[in-house]
Every structure is written in structure tokens, then in C-alpha cells.
């Protein structure tokens, strides 16, 4: 790890903030993805959610596959070289910098998450190619201005940035607050930048109708609380931006129309 890549990870290793008595989203998401970075409490809640909503593992895998397709398009086809991935999650296969730097080794990636378990594993995200950079910021998405200030040590905000919020706005219950976060982030980046979003839904046309009991169970037993949103609410996060084809889709089907839908929307939009 270079000094630059390490700059935000050394302050605290996060272990003193980890709670093993309550399930945490980053760890349960890791469990659904088949990872080992989780505790018994996470597996117990994760298994119960699977019982109530058997498609959850498919949602998690589809979300990661969407990440791969979206980042590949933005870096490989559009020429984006800077990515700000907020709500990173625990390291897994094909993390954002790995997808990006495979196509453009000079790509610069800033990861942000507020879960201490992600901080303790951040070293696995700080494995940049020598030509590029990866850094990690331990911060809450609600502090969007502070994220921009810290990310500016790594990213040049006069040049296009892909702002990624995958599976995270659903942990901010107030829809207007989500819009404010997205606005703050997108106001900080220049024309030609992109917003990449995924978000769970209860909308029936993508299979979300049976999802409410599992979300209620989650909210009674795990943290942070989750909120599903409609297609219209999801679309409202991209107000003022130009949606790339195919628009708002189930993330499994975004540029992969042969897939079955999952109740998680995905979209990519360009700042004009
Ligand atoms: C469902 S996981 C998604 C991980 C990754 N983006 C993906 O798509 O695979 C959501 C992540 O968002 C993080 N998160 C939730 N609320 C957050 C907040 N207010 N600020 C920063 N990170 C947050 C969680 O810790 C977790 O790692």
C-alpha cells in the first residue's frame, strides 16, 4: 500500500466501534454474497431474511454484476477516470477499482462507507495499480460536503467523476434528504460526470411485492433501517440529469435484457 493509498485508513482501525450484538448491513450483504466477513448475529438475520424473501442473494449478485457493467461502460466506453463509490460495502470480487483499473490502470477511486467493519477491511480496497490511486474515507453519506472536501485530496473535481451510490440511499429513510445528498454530490462535479444508482423496491413489476415483511423483519432486528422506494421516487434522484439507455431498469436487466428482473432498480445518468 503506498503512502497516498493509505492516507485515510490509518487514523483508526475501526475495531473499537464494531458491534457483534446486532446485525449490520455491510456484514449481512457480505453473507448473502457468500463472504466470510460476518458474525453469527449477521448470519442469523441473513438466513431469516432468505426464508422470508428467497431472492435476496440474487439481488445482491445482480447488484454487483450491475456495478461491473456500469463501471466498465463508464471507464471503457466513456473515458471516466475518477470514481467516488459511496456505500462501498466489504471488499468482494471485482471491487470498483479492480473493474476500473483493468480497463484504465490510471483510474483514481475513492471509497466511502460509515461501517467500522468496512474500515477494518479497507486495506483490501487499497490495492491500486501503480499508475492509479485508491483511498478510503470513513464517513457517513449524510455528510456529503465533507466527503467532497476529503475526496478532493485524491480526485480533481474540475474533471468528470462517476458518483456511485449502490444500495445505500435505501438506508436513509427521508427521501428528501436522499435528494439533497445526491444534489450536493452532483453539484460538486462538472458537466460530463455521472451518477450510478441502485436501490431496492417494493414495486410489483420487478418482483418486489412480497418484500415488505422481510424489510419489516430487518428493521426490527438489524441496522441501519431499510426503506424500499418506487420507480418514481428512484427516478426523482436523477432529476436534472440525462438517463442513459435503458433508463430505470431492474439492475439485473440493465444492459442485460435477457436476465430475470430483481426488485432492485439500477440506472446511470449523465450530468449535462
Ligand atoms: C447493501 S451494501 C452495498 C455495498 C456496495 N455498494 C454494493 O452495491 O455491493 C450498503 C453499504 O452502504 C453502507 N452504508 C449504509 N448507510 C450508510 C451511510 N449513511 N453512510 C455511508 N455508508 C452507508 C453500509 O455500511 C454498506 O456497506
Rounded Cα distance, 197 and 142, in Å: 16
Query: What's the topology of domain 3-270?
Result: Rossmann fold (3.40.50)
Calculate the alpha carbon distances from 8 to 89, 147, 207, 246 in Å. Answer: 16, 12, 40, 37
Q: What is the pLDDT along the chain (272 residues), one digit of tens a residue?
A: 444 444 444 445 778 888 888 999 999 999 999 999 999 999 999 999 999 999 999 999 999 999 999 999 999 999 999 999 999 999 999 999 999 999 999 999 999 999 999 999 998 888 999 999 999 999 999 999 999 999 999 999 999 999 999 999 999 999 999 999 999 999 999 999 999 999 999 999 999 998 999 999 999 999 999 999 999 999 999 999 999 999 999 999 999 999 999 999 999 999 99
199 lines ligand 1 (CB under 6 A): no
99 lines ligand 1 (CB under 6 A): no
Residue 33 CA, closest ligand 1 atom number: 9
Cα of 58 vs centre of ligand 1, distance in Å, is: 17
| Domain chopping of the chain, boundaries | 3-270
Ramachandran class of 20: left when φ > 0, alpha when ψ lies in -120 to 50, beta otherwise = alpha
- 108-113 and 82-86 strand pairing: parallel
Q: What is the pTM of this model?
A: 0.95
Amino acid at each position: 500500500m503506498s503512502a497516498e493509498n493509505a492516507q485515510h485508513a490509518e487514523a483508526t482501525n475501526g475495531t473499537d466501534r464494531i458491534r457483534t450484538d446486532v446485525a449490520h448491513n455491510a456484514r449481512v450483504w457480505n453473507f448473502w454474497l457468500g463472504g466470510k466477513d460476518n458474525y453469527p448475529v449477521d448470519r442469523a438475520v441473513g438466513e431469516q431474511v432468505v426464508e422470508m424473501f428467497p431472492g435476496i442473494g440474487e439481488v445482491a449478485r445482480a447488484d454487483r454484476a450491475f456495478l461491473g457493467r456500469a463501471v466498465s461502460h463508464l471507464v471503457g466506453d466513456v473515458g471516466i477516470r475518477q470514481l467516488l463509490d459511496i456505500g462501498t460495502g466489504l471488499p468482494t470480487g471485482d471491487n470498483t477499482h479492480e473493474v476500473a483499473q483493468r480497463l484504465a490502470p490510471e483510474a483514481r477511486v475513492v471509497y466511502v462507507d460509515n461501517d467500522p467493519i468496512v474500515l477494518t477491511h479497507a486495506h483490501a480496497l487499497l490495492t491500486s495499480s501503480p499508475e492509479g490511486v485508491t483511498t478510503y474515507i470513513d464517513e457517513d453519506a449524510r455528510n456529503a460536503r465533507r466527503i467532497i472536501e476529503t475526496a478532493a485530496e485524491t480526485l480533481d473535481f474540475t474533471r468528470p467523476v462517476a458518483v456511485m451510490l449502490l444500495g445505500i440511499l435505501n438506508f436513509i429513510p427521508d427521501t428528501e434528504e436522499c435528494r439533497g445528498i445526491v444534489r450536493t454530490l452532483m453539484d460538486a462535479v462538472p458537466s460530463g460526470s455521472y451518477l450510478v444508482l441502485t436501490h431496492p423496491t417494493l414495486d410489483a413489476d420487478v418482483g418486489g411485492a412480497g418484500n415488505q415483511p422481510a424489510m419489516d423483519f430487518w428493521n426490527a432486528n438489524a441496522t441501519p433501517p431499510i426503506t424500499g422506494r418506487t420507480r418514481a421516487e428512484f427516478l426523482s434522484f436523477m432529476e436534472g440529469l440525462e438517463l442513459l439507455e435503458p433508463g430505470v431498469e431492474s439492475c439485473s436487466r440493465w444492459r442485460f435484457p435477457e436476465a430475470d428482473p430483481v426488485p432492485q432498480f439500477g440506472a446511470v445518468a449523465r450530468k449535462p
